Amino acid sequence: MAKNYKNYTNKEMQAITIAKEIKDGQIVIVGTGLPLIGATVAKNKFAPNCKLIVESGLMDCSPIEVPRSVGDLRLMGHCAVQWPNVRFIGFETNEYLNGNDRMIAFIGGAQINPYGDLNSTIIGDDYIRPKTRFTGSGGANGIATYSNTVIMMQHEKRRFIDKIDYVTSVGWAGGPGGREKLGLPGNRGPLAVVTDKGVLRFDEKTKRMYLAGYYPGVTIEDIVENTGFEIDTSRAVQLEAPSEEIIKMIREDIDPGQAFIKVPVEE
């Protein structure tokens, strides 16, 4: 039976939207999962000269199949340099200190506020005895400090809230000048939030999040209902559906084992 590549999922749409955020020639900090799927799509279709790096210290990676971790041999076997982690941190910092603006990074969290500040540490107002404790920053705080970021989230009301329980990675810190008040670079920060429903960006003047695009099959009303703060939708447009060619590449070449994206079961 012929395979169906028209029945794309919102998660596949999310990975492709991630790919389109990457410009040719950029250095891309990725983790595993959707960011790496998106970055691999970008390298194959939209930005062939982008360079993928991971915080374990592997530079200029070109995985054929999506790895399961940042130390996976599928990354190591197709990279230019295998550095220790500390060299990655130094490289990231030096990019900023030398005035380079060629780096973009993908991070996520459990909660996000209207200005792109992220929480991936605790749920609850008691740090010592929280309701839930997560793994914490990893490298995300340093990445959010020195690099422009794209944030990946599931679009749920409990995640998009006015006041997050803990600031793990700083976004625009309340608006214009917020980062500078904290001693952070004001010319770095979150560029977009890519969810399973659409893409949100930050207003150039206010630095507040607004809805920029939504996926086919998703409504603006659905996004508003799943956002726990007031969101501007006046600039929102419906995004273009993906080509069958790209869906086939994701399913057959990049994630054939369905480690991160499950293929819909045909009736």
Average of pLDDT values for 127-131?
Answer: 95
CATH 3.40.1080.10 fits 8-251, yes or no: yes
Q: How would residue 73 be classed by pLDDT, with cut points 50, 70 and 90? A: confident
Cβ contact 111:165 at 8 Å: yes
Local confidence band at 10 (pLDDT 50, 70, 90 cut-offs)? very high
Q: Does residue 221 have an active-site annotation?
A: no
Token representation of residue 148: 């422009």
Q: What pLDDT sits at residue 69?
A: 80
- Average pLDDT of the segment spanning 119-141: 93
Each residue of 35-68: pLDDT tens digit? Answer: 989 999 999 999 999 999 988 888 998 887 788 8
pLDDT for res 267: 61
- Residue 233 CA, chain-centre distance (Å), reads 21
Query: How does residue 187 score in pLDDT terms, banded at 50, 70 and 90?
Result: very high
Residue in 21, 55, 65, 95 annotated catalytic: 55
**Two tokens at 250?**
């994701």
